[in-house]
Amino acid sequence: QVQLVESGGGLVQAGGSLRLSCAASGSFISIDVTRWYRQAPGKQREWVAVITTGGRTNYADSVKGRFTISRDNPKNTVSLQMNSLKPEDTAVYYCNVQIGSRLYWGQGTQVTVSS
């Protein structure tokens, strides 16, 4: 069994910062590719960022230069540092972790950016 626990969401003013974390636990050796997605009310879930096992990263154009994804392999944790937040970043954020051939989703954490 694999469990993903997300934390770090909350309410912040525009221009502020938040750091999301996704911690994986269970019967596995290590986590592989990890992605963050987000879903705003009334919209489809969209991809935000990805980090490979080796640490390569890529970002959606809408967050490039403001968000940074990172990983702590010994702790099986992936983080998303979000700076210069905008109201349009308001959404529920989900981590998506690949372990072996399977994909796992976190429970989601709400990020609300006020103008």
- Give the C-alpha separation, 112 to 92, whole Å: 8
Residue 102 confidence (pLDDT):
94
Report, as an integer, the average pLDDT of 6-15.
97
pLDDT digits (tens, 9 = 90+) for 16-64: 999 999 999 998 888 899 999 999 999 999 999 999 999 999 999 999 9
What mean pLDDT is reported for the chain?
Answer: 96
Distances (CA, A) of 86 to 56, 67, 81, 112: 25, 12, 14, 9
Residue 27 confidence (pLDDT):
86
DSSP one-letter code for 83? -
Residue 28 confidence (pLDDT):
85
